[in-house]
Structures are given as structure tokens and as C-alpha cells.
Amino acid sequence: MKALSKIFSAIIILLLPFLFALQQEEINFQKLGKGKIIEKDHSIKKNIILKEIHLQTENKAGWIVYIKEGSLHDLLIENIDRIEFPSAETEPVKLVFENNLPLMKQL
């Protein structure tokens, strides 16, 4: 039982930086404020709040998770042209995905 407790404690200690990083990302997304997603087919999703970005892996396509009207939604990165945040705290910015990697640029 004591060994199990030590293993559990070690796992928690190893995960703390990862959990902190996730929390930091969420805070940064909140600073972006409400935005709009412009898809490659020119459709627009307005008044969204970006929640998560999941990057592409060898076996899975990348996607984002966003909130619209109180509900969570997801969208494949390959379908997104850009995400605009005109009321971000620092300055208006847009998020584009080059080679499936997120890049923040001035709007």
C-alpha cells in the first residue's frame, strides 16, 4: 500500500507541469475574447470562444474545440481558413494554420 502511494505521488508530481500548461493555454484563449471562424468553404461561425487546439498526429487529423451559444463544438483544422479575434485584450489578431500549426498574426 505504501509503495502504491509513492507511485501515485510521483505520477502527480510528473503531471503538474502538464496540467499547469493546459491551464495557461486556456487563460490565453480567454484573453482572445469572442471571435469568428472563417472556413475554407467561406462559411462563417460568429460569436465563438476558442477552448482547445488539438494538433495533427500521425494517426489523427488536427481539430479545435470552441463554445458557441453555451455548447461545445469541434471542427477539423483542415477546414479552417482563419479564426479572427477583433476584440482580443492586446490587439485584434487572427489565428491561421500553416502546415496544420497555429500561427497568431495581426488582424
- How many other C-beta atoms are found inside a 10 Å radius of the C-beta of residue 23? 10
The pLDDT of residue 8? 60
The better pLDDT of the pair 90, 72 is held by 72
pLDDT tens, residue by residue, 33-69: 999 999 999 999 999 999 999 888 888 899 999 999 9
Residue 79: pLDDT band with limits 50, 70, 90? very high
Residue 72: pLDDT band with limits 50, 70, 90? very high
Domain ranges, residue 74: 2-106
Q: Which of 78, 74, 75, 76 shows the shortest CA–CA distance to 99?
A: 78
The answer to whether the CB of 103 falls within 8 A of the CB of 95 is yes
**Helix, strand, coil % over all residues of the chain, rounded to 5:** 30, 45, 25
Q: Give the HSE-up count for residue 93: Cα atoms under 13 Å, Cβ half-sphere.
A: 15
Total domain count, the chain: 1
